[in-house]
């Protein structure tokens, strides 16, 4: 074995050729990850971020922010022309998408979509109980697609 770094350019070139020659096959999981990353290159052009504008868990009363274990949490998100309001309880998520124009809404975790449903004519929808950890809502209505900030709902 020669000392590293090589003392001449020819030695360095030989080391680089050997390293590249023995690279082998690219593992399938690396290829899938590369394709998934490439698919996100135009995400800003396709989606509008719906930012959190209200969270009842952050409302301070006389004794500071408090919630009992059985109470519901209310959150509001706004993105472009879309307003998304949800109530999270032990029974799941109920919400309304405004303006009401039908559409679909899905709830995602880092592992993928955990629930998806249609939005009715007045903008109402219902989703299952969110899992622990951050959740993102993805709504499509009236030709507009919005995604919420990632929030921990439980």
For the chain, which domains are there? 9-41 (no CATH), 47-152 (2.60.40)
What pLDDT sits at residue 43? Answer: 60
Comparing C-alpha atoms, which of 96, 59, 90 is closest to residue 72?
90
Beta carbons of 138 and 147 less than 8 angstroms apart: yes
**pLDDT tens sequence across 23-75:** 678 889 888 888 877 776 666 556 788 999 999 998 765 444 555 555 899 99
């Amino acid at each position: 074995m020669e000392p590293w770094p090589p003392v001449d350019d020819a030695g360095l070139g030989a080391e680089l050729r050997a390293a590249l020659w023995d690279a082998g096959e690219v593992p399938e999981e690396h290829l899938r990850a590369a394709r998934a990353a490439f698919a996100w290159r135009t995400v800003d052009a396709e989606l509008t971020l719906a930012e959190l504008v209200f969270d009842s868990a952050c409302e301070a009363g006389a004794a500071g922010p408090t919630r009992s274990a059985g109470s519901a949490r209310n959150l509001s998100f706004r993105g472009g022309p879309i307003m998304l309001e949800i109530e999270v309880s032990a029974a799941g998520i109920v919400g309304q998408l405004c303006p009401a124009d039908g559409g679909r809404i899905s709830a995602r975790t880092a592992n993928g979509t955990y629930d998806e449903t249609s939005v009715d004519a007045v903008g109402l929808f219902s989703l299952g109980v969110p899992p622990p950890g951050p959740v993102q809502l993805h709504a499509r209505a009236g030709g507009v697609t919005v995604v919420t900030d990632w929030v921990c709902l439980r």
